[in-house]
């Protein structure tokens, strides 16, 4: 039995989906353990592009079982839409290959409204959330009294009375926070969610018990992280973070599988850095090079379409992300995007108020004043998308990858030089 985990080490969008997709060849079960439809994974194969948000990437491969674990927040309407978009394209999805935890929490319409209201009130300090009601649903999970789990949808009497109480409270609070708020109707929400519950019923199960049986039977498990360790609610750049443990810290709590040793913890990094939404970003480029990376790397959000902020590879932030996750090996993605630059830079330390450090600051105000100290490497100025082994890469590109490995103190085992599966170098 092999247990593998794929986790992003930056601020999300590290192209984790490609690695997960390749690994599905040798794993029978792919488990998501945190987040919700704030995630956006693009997977390309056989000339087709698939965009996934809530569904684990494993769903695309015949014979692979995809699990939405207890640690997620699930918007049933979004789930049904995503299932339909895939089944319309011939991807079979049934209770045979998709399991949704009855312990996962439900995103309700007021979560989305509240997400927008809180963001608006933060003004210039807005987190820049995806607006999917992720944080407000996780808040209600922690609060408990306003929480609804998937399993609750199948107890309609108690669900109706609790929803009535919750919506009454939400209407009061939202009206106080936003005078333009139009009160929500508990009855209408109840009706639509009971209908969603019926439609998702074939997938809903106690995934914890199911996974325990799978572990006993010796199946190979793959844990698919969404977001990245710098967005982790505990370890990331709080409050400019998401609301779940998007580092590997979330695996056990979000799946219920705790007795496992994770044999391979793969940390996925982009060859540069991107970030969507607010928060400090020391290596950000506001110039033509940043725009060049955005254009060549198609750095626009899968979920929201927002242009991503782009910058140089940050060895301090990424090495910290790797330490938080206990990573064994690195996959470097999108190296091809840097091919035409005259010079490439890697941040090897920060200067914070005159002091050089390789520690990642715990407070965003310290990160905000961190000046990157760069290592400069001459560009290789040639297309590398046809490379299939390390020796096919020009020496500048190899030096660049070696620098990433050295700064992170971890071996690079995979290099991606294009979106297709074949555009990969295994080391």
| Residue 135 binding partner per list Mg ion, ligand IMO, none, with a CB distance cut-off of 5 to 8 Å that depends on partner kind | ligand IMO
Residue whose CB is less far from ligand IMO, 5 or 242: 242
Alpha carbon distance 342, 270 (integer Å): 19
* Token pair listed for 99: 């399991």
CB of 368 to Mg ion, least distance (A): 24
- Are 100 and 204 within 8 A, CB to CB? yes
CB of 25 to ligand IMO, least distance (A): 22
Mark residues 253-292: x for contact with Mg ion by CB under 5 A, - for none.
----------------------------------------
- Are 406 and 330 within 8 A, CB to CB? no
Residue closest to Mg ion, measured at CB:
40
| Residue 375 binding partner per list ligand IMO, Mg ion, none, with a CB distance cut-off of 5 to 8 Å that depends on partner kind | none
Sequence-ordered alpha helix ranges (H) in 69-151: 76-87, 109-122, 134-143
- Are 31 and 223 within 8 A, CB to CB? yes
Q: Which of 390-409 are b and which e, b meaning 16 or more Cβ less than 10 Å from the residue's Cβ?
A: eeebbebbeebbebbbebbe
Alpha carbon distance 372, 361 (integer Å): 13
Residue whose CB is less far from ligand IMO, 4 or 273: 273
Catalytic residues: 13, 41
CB of 115 to ligand IMO, least distance (A): 7
| Residue 311 binding partner per list Mg ion, ligand IMO, none, with a CB distance cut-off of 5 to 8 Å that depends on partner kind | none
Mark residues 299-338: x for contact with Mg ion by CB under 5 A, - for none.
---x------------------------------------
CB of 231 to ligand IMO, least distance (A): 5
CB of 15 to ligand IMO, least distance (A): 9
Residue whose CB is less far from ligand IMO, 9 or 197: 9
Mark residues 225-254: x for contact with Mg ion by CB under 5 A, - for none.
------------------------------
- Are 315 and 277 within 8 A, CB to CB? no
Q: Which residues contact 43 (CB under 8 A, 6 or more apart)?
A: 17, 18, 21, 49, 50, 52, 57, 60
Q: Which residues contribute to the site for ligand IMO (CB under 6 A)? A: 8, 11-13, 38-41, 127-130, 132, 134-135, 226-228, 231, 242-243, 276-277
| Residue 224 binding partner per list ligand IMO, Mg ion, none, with a CB distance cut-off of 5 to 8 Å that depends on partner kind | none
CB of 397 to ligand IMO, least distance (A): 25
CB of 311 to ligand IMO, least distance (A): 14
By the rule CB under 5 A, 13 interacts with Mg ion: yes
Residue whose CB is less far from ligand IMO, 231 or 401: 231
Q: Minimal CA–CA distance to 146: which of 118, 110, 180?
A: 110
Beta bridge partners of 374: 347
Q: Minimal CA–CA distance to 91: which of 40, 42, 50?
A: 50
Half-sphere exposure of 200 (CA within 13 A, CB side): 30
Helices 156-177, 109-122: crossing angle, 10 deg rounding: 20
Task: Tell me phi and psi for residue 418, to 5 degrees.
Answer: 165, 165
Q: Is omega for the bond preceding 239 within 30 degrees of 0, making it cis? A: yes
| Residue 247 binding partner per list Mg ion, ligand IMO, none, with a CB distance cut-off of 5 to 8 Å that depends on partner kind | none
Residue whose CB is less far from Mg ion, 71 or 225: 225
By the rule CB under 5 A, 40 interacts with Mg ion: yes
Residue whose CB is less far from Mg ion, 13 or 152: 13
Task: Tell me phi and psi for residue 327, to 5 degrees.
Answer: -75, 145
| Residue 8 binding partner per list ligand IMO, Mg ion, none, with a CB distance cut-off of 5 to 8 Å that depends on partner kind | ligand IMO
Q: Which run of H or E residues covers position 344?
A: strand 343-352
Helices 315-325, 395-408: crossing angle, 10 deg rounding: 50
| Residue 344 binding partner per list Mg ion, ligand IMO, none, with a CB distance cut-off of 5 to 8 Å that depends on partner kind | none
Residue whose CB is less far from ligand IMO, 4 or 205: 4
Alpha carbon distance 409, 83 (integer Å): 40
Q: Which residues bind Mg ion (CB under 5 A)?
A: 13, 40, 302
């Amino acid at each position: 039995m092999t247990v593998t985990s794929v986790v992003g080490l930056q601020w999300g969008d590290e192209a984790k989906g490609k690695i997960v997709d390749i690994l599905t060849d040798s794993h029978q079960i792919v488990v998501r353990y945190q987040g919700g439809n704030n995630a956006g994974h693009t997977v390309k194969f056989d000339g087709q592009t698939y965009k996934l948000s809530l569904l684990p990437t494993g769903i695309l491969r015949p014979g692979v079982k995809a699990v939405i674990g207890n640690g997620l927040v699930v918007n049933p309407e979004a789930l049904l839409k995503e299932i339909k978009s895939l089944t319309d394209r011939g991807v079979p999805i049934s209770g045979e290959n998709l399991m949704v935890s009855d312990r996962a929490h439900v995103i309700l319409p007021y979560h989305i409204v509240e997400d927008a209201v809180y963001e608006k009130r933060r003004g210039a300090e807005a987190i820049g959330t995806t607006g999917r009601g992720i944080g407000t649903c996780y808040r209600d999970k922690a609060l408990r009294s306003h929480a609804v789990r998937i399993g609750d949808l199948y107890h309609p009497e108690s669900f109706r009375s609790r929803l009535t109480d919750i919506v009454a409270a939400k209407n009061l609070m939202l009206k106080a926070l936003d005078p333009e708020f139009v009160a929500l109707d508990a009855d209408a929400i109840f009706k639509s969610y009971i209908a969603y519950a019926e439609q998702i019923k074939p997938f809903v199960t106690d995934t914890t018990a199911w996974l325990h049986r799978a572990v006993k039977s010796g199946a190979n498990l793959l844990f698919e992280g969404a977001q990245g360790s710098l967005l982790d609610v505990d370890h990331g750049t709080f409050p400019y973070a998401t609301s779940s443990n998007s580092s590997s810290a979330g695996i056990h709590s979000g799946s219920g599988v705790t007795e496992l040793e994770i044999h391979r913890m793969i940390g996925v990094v982009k060859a540069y850095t991107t970030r969507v939404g607010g928060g400090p970003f020391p290596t950000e480029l506001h110039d033509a090079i940043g725009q060049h990376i955005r254009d060549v790397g198609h750095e626009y959000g899968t979920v929201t379409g927002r242009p991503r902020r782009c910058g140089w590879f940050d060895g301090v932030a990424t090495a910290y992300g790797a330490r938080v996750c206990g990573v064994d090996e690195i996959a470097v993605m999108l190296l091809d995007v840097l091919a035409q630059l005259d010079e490439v830079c890697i941040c090897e330390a920060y200067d914070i108020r005159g002091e050089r450090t390789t520690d990642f600051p715990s407070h965003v105000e310290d990160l905000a004043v961190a000046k990157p100290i760069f290592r400069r490497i001459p560009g290789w100025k040639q297309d590398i998308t046809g490379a299939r082994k390390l020796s096919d890469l020009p020496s500048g590109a190899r030096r660049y990858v070696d620098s990433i490995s050295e700064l992170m103190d971890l071996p690079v085992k995979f290099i991606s030089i294009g979106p297709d599966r074949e555009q990969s170098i295994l080391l």
